[in-house]
Amino acid sequence: MRIGVLALQGAFREHLETLRAIGVEGVRVREPADLADVSGLILPGGESTTMRQLIERWGLREPILDLADRGAPIFGTCAGMIVLAAEIAGGEPPILPLLDVTVERNAFGRQLDSFEADLDVPVLGSTPVHGVFIRAPIIERTGPDVDVLARLDDGRIVAVRQRNIIATAFHPELAGETRFHRLVAAMASEHDDPGEGSGRRPYPTRRSLSARHDQGTT
């Protein structure tokens, strides 16, 4: 099993190191051919505007949407959450509208306002998850099919899952936290070998949500 990490810009090296630490082969993804043999994809933190430009420049938008449509897990952290959001506050067009949420960019302020927090993420067990928030977004709205995985103490949503799409406003990989990556690896393994009923895609996700946003996002 191989999991791709979008390596156009941002903190992709830390994700590759985290995958290596849990015994999963990570693949740098820079062009469509790099997606040919991966079972999942991680979108790292960085600058979402730059990611938008590079995803379009290298022709990665449709191949990533197709990968998600086939049921492979897609995991976005920080800017990766913005990339996956169906709606970006302020009217900016979506990039890969796979996650039925509205996100606000830089919701916590500037780089100097970065912070760390321990978060309850029941799906990952009883031990809190340590997250690093760096110019982090926040989720303002979730659709009916979106599961909230974690909130801050004030109730703001910072981690979600919709079928095979997972996103966090924080960086688990910068805190030495591996459980989100282990979850993605488990989902990728299921995608590769769904077992009984394998004729069905386990996580159909794409067209019902993204068709509404395809116009004007190329």
Q: What angle do CA 151, 152, 155 make, to 5 degrees?
A: 70
User: Annotated catalytic residue: which of 78, 87, 177, 181?
Assistant: 78
User: Annotated catalytic residue: which of 171, 177, 181, 191?
Assistant: 171
User: Annotated catalytic residue: which of 173, 177, 181, 191?
Assistant: 173
The answer to whether residue 173 is catalytic is yes
Please give the Cα distance from 101 to 107 (Å, whole number): 15
The answer to whether residue 171 is catalytic is yes
Residues 6 or more apart in contact with residue 99 via CB below 8 angstroms: 76, 81, 84, 85, 86, 146, 160, 162, 165, 167, 209
What is the distance between the terminal CA atoms of the chain, rounded to a whole angstrom?
31
Residue 44 vs residues 5, 206, 215: alpha-carbon distances, Å: 7, 21, 25
User: Residue written as tokens 């103490």?
Assistant: 153
Please give the Cα distance from 91 to 34 (Å, whole number): 32
| Among the listed residues 84, 85, 146, 158, the one whose alpha carbon sits nearest the alpha carbon of residue 120 | 158
Q: Which residues are catalytic?
A: 78, 171, 173
